[in-house]
Amino acid sequence: MTAAEARSATDAPRRRPHRFVVAKVDEIPPGERRIVEAGGREIGVYNIKGRFYAMLNRCPHLAGPLCEGQVVNAVESSGPGDVRLEESRTYVTCPWHNWEFDVETGRSYWNPRLRARPLPVGVEGGAEIEAAMERGEVDRIPGPYRAEMIPVSIESDYVVLSLRPARGGTSS
């Protein structure tokens, strides 16, 4: 690479990252959620039985703060006296009108035409993140204390959120 090529490579405008470090994995234990701001949007990041999920904090019904609501499982019944908790299906309940949205797909049985917006989120190692940060592919968002950025070290695993739309998938 010539000096001119190297200079133009470093002068090239960097694309804004679409992936963000949310927290160390153990900072969002099972059953907990954290609402973060990334790319100008509020997003709820959930740990549900060790798997991470993320959803835009905006209800598709009337724009309520969806991620401030409860997390519940589906209940199934074939008739009177038969009630089963379906633990494999989990819903976020909007606090405004109690519509429930599937945490994986964003679908609601209240209105199948409206969908909440799930986002991809997963766990990555610190070394991998450091390398991606150097390439400008990953950014950090403020921690629980607004002015504090999440420090990244290679010894830890981190929850990483992507703002590119999910196809209903997640990872743990």
Write out the residues near ligand FES by the rule CB under 6 A: 59, 61-62, 64, 94, 96-97, 99
- Between residues 96 and 117, which has the closer beta carbon with respect to ligand FES? 96
- Between residues 111 and 172, which has the closer beta carbon with respect to ligand FES? 111
Residue 161 beta carbon to ligand FES: minimum distance, rounded to whole angstroms: 22
- Between residues 6 and 62, which has the closer beta carbon with respect to ligand FES? 62
How many Å apart are CA 7 and CA 4, to the nearest integer? Answer: 5
- Between residues 64 and 143, which has the closer beta carbon with respect to ligand FES? 64
Residue 93 beta carbon to ligand FES: minimum distance, rounded to whole angstroms: 8
CA distances in angstroms from 127 to 130, 131, 140, 149, listed in the order given: 5, 6, 15, 17
Residue 56 beta carbon to ligand FES: minimum distance, rounded to whole angstroms: 12
Residue 116 beta carbon to ligand FES: minimum distance, rounded to whole angstroms: 9
DSSP per position, the chain: --HHHHHHHHHSPPPPP-EEEEEEGGGS-TT-EEEEEETTEEEEEEEETTEEEEEESS-TTT---GGGS-EEEEEEEEETTEEEEEEEEEEEEPTTT--EEETTT-B-SS-TT-B--EE-EEEEEHHHHHHHHHTT-EEE-B-SSTTPBPP--TTSEEEEEE-SPPSS--B-
- Between residues 66 and 121, which has the closer beta carbon with respect to ligand FES? 66
Residue with tokens 């290679």: 154
Residue 134 beta carbon to ligand FES: minimum distance, rounded to whole angstroms: 40
